[in-house]
A = this chain, B = another copy of it.
Amino acid sequence: MNEKDKNSLENGTGLGRRRFINSAALAGMSLGALACTDKSSTAVAPAASGAAPATHTGGAGSAAHLKPGELDTYYGLWSGGHTGDMRVLGLPSGREITRIPCFVPDALVGWGHTNESKKIMGTKADGSLRYSVADTHHTHASYKDGNYDGRYAWINDKINSRIARIRLDYFVCDKITELPNVQGFHGIFPDKADPVDPKINYTTRVFCGGEFSTPLPNIGSDDASTYRSLFTCVDAESMEVRWQVLIDGNCDLTATSYDGKLAATNQYNTEMGAKYEDMMSAERDACLFFNIARIEEAVKAGKFKTYGDSKVPVVDGTHAANKDAKTALTAYVSVPKNPHGVNASPDAKYFICAGKLSPTGTIIELAKVLDYFDGKLDSADKAIVAEVELGLGPLHTAFDGRGNAYTTLFLDSQVVKWNLEAAIKFHAGDKSAKYVVDRIDVQYQPGHLNASQSETRAADGKYLAVGCKFSKDRFLPVGPLHPENEQLIDISGDKMVLMADHPVRGEPHDFIIFKRELLSPKQVYNLDDFPNAIKDPKDSGVFRKGNKVEVKMTSQAPAFSLRDFKVKKGDIVTLTLTNLDKIEDLTHGFAIPKHNVNFIVNPQETASVTFVADKPGVYWCYCTHFCHALHLEMRTRMIVEA
C-alpha cells in the first residue's frame, strides 16, 4: 500500500484501492448490469471502508408527510427528461403539483395544438410541429443578488438543441430558441451578475453547453477528430443567441460564478473520441472556464467567425488560440477522468467537479482562476486547491451553506457528505483533516442531487433530494419500465437521514429546490394580455371570408356563448375561445369530436385552434375540464354542412 492509499484509509475514506478505474476493466464489464442484477437492497456494494455507516432512517421521515391541507414549504423545479416537460414539486412532501409543457405536446392543455403554443414551439411549412420529442436535463432559474428572483426558469432539450424559458408568474413556457450548430445541448446555467456592470446584479445571460462535436458546418464527415463543439450564450430577455465559443473537447454541465466573471463547463471527452473506449482513454479531462468579459470584448471587436447559415458570432476558445493567459478567453483546468458535473459553492469561492471514472472530487478556487487570467499563475491547474477521494462513480455535488458538500456516488449507490475546507487542508498535506463527514446508502445508482437553496447564496442545508436512476424493488411492480426514485434526505443534522422514496416518471435529471416565499404566482390571467380576446359574449359569432371561417366564442359556466354554430365542409376554421370566468381554478376545456381538437382556457385566458372541417355531420363540442355542477351539460354543436 502506498502512502497516499494508507492516508486515505486512515482518513476514513477507505478508497485507496479504487484509484482511477482502469479503462480496460470498464470496457469489459457492464456496470449497469452489475449494478442491477441483485434485487435486495443489501446487495448494493457498500463503501469499501468497514467504517461506512448503514442507511439512516428515523423520525425525520414523518416530516415528509404533510397533514391534509398543510402546504409544502419549498418548490422544486424538476426536469422531465425525455418526457420533455418541466415538473413542479412541493417539498418535503414530494408531491408533483403541476407539469409545464414546453418542448413536447401536452394533450391536457392543448400545448402543441393551439395556435398560440404552436407559434412558441415552432412549425414546419405545412403548419405541423417541427419537433414532438425532447430530452430535458437541466433547469435553473433567474437570479438577483445571488438568490432566485422568481422571474424565469430555463430548461434544455438535448435532442434538438433547444432552450425553453418558463415564466414563473403563470408557470408557462413563453419562448423556445434552437441553438445553431450545436448537437447534444446538455448543461444550462444563467449568469448571476454582469461581469462588468455592478448595477446588473441579476441574470441577463444563459449559458449552454454543447456535448456532441460535429463538423462545422455539419457535413457528413467520418473523421470525428475534425469535429468541434460550441459553448453558447443566450440573452435571458430576448432569448436570442448572443455569441458562441469554439472549444477543444466537449461541454457537459455548466456553472457560473456569483460575480458574473466566469462560466465553466466540465469536459468528459477531451479526447474527441467517437466511441466510448476512446472517450475514456485519457486519465484526466477538464473543467473549461470562460472569461465572459473578454469574450464579449472580442465579439465587440469583431474577432469572430460565423458558421453555415448562422449569423451568431463564434469566438475562438481553443487551446491553440488561448496560450497567453493575459489575453485568453478560456482556461482549461484538468480534472480526473470523464467528470460529470460542475457546481458552484454557495460561498461563491469554489467550483467542484467529480470524476465519474475516478473516485475523486476536485475543488477549483475561482479567485485563482481569475489570477490565472491575470497572468499571476503559470498554469490553470494551480487553481485546483483539493482533489480528494470520495467513493466510486462520483457525479454531482450540492451544498448546505455550512461548508459541506454532498456528492452522489453512482457506483457505490451512496451520497457522501464532505467538508470543503477539511478537504483543502487534507490536499495541502494535513492528513489529519477528516473531510468525509458522513455517508448514506441510496436506492439505487444516484445521478443528480440537489439541496434546498443549494445553488444560491442562501443555501439553507435543510433538505437534499437525490435522483436515483434505478428503483428496482422500491415500488410496486408496473411492468418492464420502472419509475425512477427521487429520495428525500434530511441534512439539517450531522447525520443524513433518509425521509422518503418518491417514484417519478422517467427521467428527471437535474432540479432545483427553493423557498416558497420566492415565488408569487398569479391565478387569473389578464384579458388584455391576449390580442385575440373576445371580451364580450356579444362579439361571438361565425365570420366567413371565402372558405376561411373565424368562430369567436366565450365560456361562462355552464355554457359557451354560441349554443351551436355552422360551417361548411372544407372550411378552414379558426376557433377562438375566451374564458370570461374570473374565479380561480375555474378552467374550461373545449373538445371537438373527430377533429383532433382539445384545449383548455384558464380564467380570463384566450386560446385558438385552426382545423379543417372535413367531415359533414353534427359534432358535440363539450367542456373537457370539470367546471361546474352542469359541466356534463356544457356543450355546443358544430354542424358541418355537406
Residues 35-77 of A, flagged 1 when their CB comes within 8 A of B and 0 if not, give 1110101000000000000000100011011111101100100
In the complex, A455 has a CB within 8 A of chain B: no
A191 sits at the interface (CB 8 A): no
* A427 contacts the other chain (CB 8 A): no
A sample of 17 inter-chain contacts (CB < 8 A) reads A32-B586, A32-B629, A71-B476, A81-B108, A82-B600, A97-B478, A98-B481, A133-B597, A170-B480, A184-B622, A212-B593, A219-B618, A222-B639, A274-B635, A276-B559, A276-B635, A340-B632
Name 9 extra pairs, CB < 8 A, besides A36-B584, A220-B639, A481-B602: A33-B586, A61-B68, A83-B106, A133-B597, A171-B479, A215-B617, A268-B632, A279-B633, A481-B600
Tell me which residues across on chain B come within 8 A of A159, comparing CB atoms: 591-593, 598, 624
Rounded to whole angstroms, the CA-CA distance of A513 and B246 in the bound complex is 56
Residues B30 and A131 in contact, CB atoms below 8 Å apart: no
Complex Cα gap A382–B611 (Å): 50
- Kindly report which residue of chain B lies nearest to residue A640, judged by CB atoms: B220
- Give residues 76-107 of A contacting B (CB, 8 Å): 81-84, 88, 90, 95-99, 104-107
Stretch from A294-302, A309-317, A498-506 contacting the other chain: A498-506
- Smallest Cβ-Cβ distance to A227: which chain B residue: B618
Cβ < 8 Å to B, chain A residues 456-502: 469-472, 474-484, 487, 498-502
Q: Chain B residues with Cβ under 8 A from A634's Cβ?
A: 276
Q: Does A522 contact B (CB under 8 A)?
A: yes
Is B594 within 8 A of A160, CB to CB?
Answer: yes
A393 within 8 A of B: yes
Name which residue of chain B comes closest to A224, CB basis. Answer: B637
Q: Is there contact, CB below 8 Å, between B476 and A629?
A: no
Asked if A627 and B98 sit within 8 Å, CB to CB, the answer is no
A69 touches B624 (CB 8 A): no
A480 touches B524 (CB 8 A): yes
Residue A428 lies at the interface, judged by CB distance under 8 Å to chain B: no
Q: Mark A294-338, 1 if CB is under 8 A from B, else 0.
A: 000000000000000000000000000000000000000000001
Q: Is A610 an interface residue (CB 8 A)?
A: no
- Contact in complex: B222, A109 (CB < 8 Å): no
Question: Which 4 A/B pairs are nearest by Cβ-Cβ distance?
Answer: A32-B628, A171-B479, A65-B65, A480-B602
> A619 contacts B65, CB within 8 Å?
no
Binding site of A, secondary structure by majority: helix, strand, loop or mixed? loop
What are the residues of chain B within 8 A of A218 when measuring CB–CB? Answer: 617-618
A2: Cβ under 8 A from any B Cβ: no
A192 at the interface (CB under 8 A from B): no
Query: Is A612 close to B, CB under 8 A?
Result: no
A133 and B632 in contact (CB under 8 A), knowing A107-B82, A479-B169? no
Contacts of A4 in B (CB 8 A): none
C-beta contact mask, A581-602 vs B, less than 8 Å → 1, else 0?
Answer: 1011111010111101110101
Contacts of A26 in B (CB 8 A): 629-630
A161 in the interface (beta carbon within 8 A): yes
A503's contact among B96, B220, B227, B622, by CB below 8 Å, is which? B96
How many whole Å from A101's CB to the nearest CB in chain B? 10
Shortest CB distance A166–B (Å): 10
In the complex the two chains form, is B64's CB within 8 Å of A65's CB? Answer: yes
Q: What are the residues of chain B within 8 A of A357 when measuring CB–CB?
A: 629
B624–A82 CB distance below 8 A: yes
Say whether B585 contacts A36, CB under 8 Å: yes
Tell me the minimal C-beta distance from A312 to chain B in angstroms. Answer: 17
A479 and B593 contacting across the interface, CB-CB below 8 Å: no
Given A62-B65, A475-B97, A630-B276; A557-B33 close (CB under 8 Å) = yes
A401 within 8 A of B: no
